Amino acid sequence: MIKREIPFYKPYIDKKERRYISEVLELNKADKVEKLENDFSKYVNSKYAVSTNNGTSAMHLAMCALDLKRGDKIICSVNSFPSVAEVIRHFDAEPIFLDIDKDDFNIDLDELEKLLENNRSKKLKAAFINHVAGQPTELDRLYKIAKLYDIKIVEDASSAMGATYNGSKIGGLKADITTFRFSPQMKHAVASGGIMTTNHENLKDRAVLLRNHAIINDGWDAYGNLGYVYDVIDIGLKYDMNELNAAYALGQLEKNEQFIERRQQISKIYDNELKDCNHVSTPVEKRDHTFSQYIIKVDKNRDSFARELKERGINTALHYIPLHLLTYYRKKYNMRVNDFPNALNNYQKILSLPIYLGLSDKDVYYICDQIKDIAKTRV
């Protein structure tokens, strides 16, 4: 058997990105950032979109827009990428971790409601809700809880661009702010970009102000040259997106529905091929799902399973290592391994398989065959 080499993720780039990048480089057209923001607002049906230089910047800018202060508290799932808790800690604010639903890997809304019932602290500012693998949490219930307890909702849609809930796109619903990123594979990304959406003009205005050093002036020209007279009215950041990254993001945005369609096709192959595979469980699809990750559970030595797949040329990943197991958060908050049993149990089993537009059916069937072959050796 000839071993293949299948990367976990591979970007798909065609003439769309090349055309937009060429317009920036060769025609000096400095309109891509504005076009991206306008197009993205239309895509998710939000009033406003504010682009940033990467996805973590969008998250941090969202916290800035909420005017997060030292000692404030933000609820978040323990099953999140480190950037969620990281941007909270940059304000010397405190993340409050909650356990997850064992099926969809999103925050446990029963735990959220229980916490809010017993917590009347004025320092509790918001809940930062991530949508794991492209499957949104139960948003109708989330929004009802938020309204009942008067807390703001920020949604991390880093893995849910184009995802829908009851037919409406994430980013244009009832969250105060929703954040996205344009670089699914963050390490060695081809280009980087983030964006936040909101339907609140005050949050948009504050984000726009802080995004570029909190400078106010008599305007910028088409090439970003600062006006003659300016002032600084707050402590700002340097998070604005450049035209080249916006050109790349535009091309990716215009193909996003194509990305989703192909991932859903691949997920059906995985579902069908692995449904009777010993020691392997396929994802539970409870709501609209875009499968930005396809996460299986392996009930017999996941790490050994992953190593054997790697030996056969198949690269995998973990989404995610629970935050309470990471050294900084474990020591900072004196957390124990068993504090979040659902997240811990899932983490010991989960494994993310390759799923992206450039992955051929032949490669998908090869992956399935290797999984089934390895599973046969487990007793």
The domain made up of 15-254 has a fold known as Aspartate Aminotransferase; domain 2 (3.40.640)
Distance CA 350, CA 60 (A): 28
243: Cβ–Cβ under 8 A, 6 or more apart, which residues?
24, 30, 32, 33
User: What pLDDT digit, counting tens, does each position of 241-252 carry?
Assistant: 999 999 999 999
pTM of this structure: 0.95
Q: Residue 87 pLDDT > 70, yes or no? A: yes
Q: For residue 35, give the nearest of 55, 58, 16 by alpha carbon.
A: 16
Same fold, 15-254 and 256-376: no
Alpha helical stretches, state H, the chain: 15-27, 32-44, 55-65, 82-89, 109-118, 139-149, 201-211, 243-254, 256-274, 302-311, 327-332, 341-347, 361-376
Neighbours of 145 (CB within 10 A): 18
Q: Residue 341 pLDDT > 80, yes or no? A: yes
Distance CA 343, CA 339 (A): 9
Of 137-141, 228-232, 366-370, the range with the lowest mean pLDDT is: 228-232
pLDDT of residue 119: 81
The residue behind tokens 């020209």 is 221
Residue 220 confidence class, pLDDT cut points 50, 70, 90 = low
Pairing of strands 73-77, 124-130: parallel
Rounded to a whole number, what is the largest CA-CA distance in the chain? 74
pLDDT of residue 223: 66
Distance CA 137, CA 254 (A): 25
User: What's the CA angle centered on 74, arms 348 and 171, to 5 degrees?
Assistant: 85
Q: Residue 3 pLDDT > 80, yes or no? A: no
Distance CA 56, CA 76 (A): 15
Of 118-132, 221-235, 347-361, the range with the lowest mean pLDDT is: 221-235
Mean pLDDT on 122-144: 97
Distance CA 264, CA 23 (A): 33
3-class secondary-structure state, position 3? coil
Residue 317 confidence class, pLDDT cut points 50, 70, 90 = very high
Residue 378 confidence class, pLDDT cut points 50, 70, 90 = confident
Mean pLDDT on 299-316: 96
Taking CA atoms, 185 is separated from 13, 106, 161, 192, 317, in Å, by 14, 21, 14, 10, 11
Residue 226 confidence class, pLDDT cut points 50, 70, 90 = low
- Mean per-residue pLDDT of the chain: 95
pLDDT of residue 121: 84
Residue 2 confidence class, pLDDT cut points 50, 70, 90 = low
pLDDT of residue 1: 52
pLDDT of residue 188: 75
Looking at per-residue confidence, does 232 or 185 come out higher? 232
pLDDT of residue 174: 97
Mean pLDDT on 367-375: 97
Residue ranges of domains in the chain:
15-254, 256-376
Mean pLDDT on 93-120: 96
User: What pLDDT digit, counting tens, does each position of 282-301 carry?
Assistant: 999 999 999 999 999 999 89
User: What's the CA angle centered on 102, arms 340 and 325, to 5 degrees?
Assistant: 30
pLDDT of residue 333: 97
Residue 14 confidence class, pLDDT cut points 50, 70, 90 = very high
Mean pLDDT on 270-278: 97
Peptide bond connecting 228 to the previous residue in cis, omega within 30 degrees of 0: no
Mean pLDDT on 340-352: 98
Q: Tell me: domain 256-376, CATH 2.60.40.10, correct?
A: no
Mean pLDDT on 27-41: 95
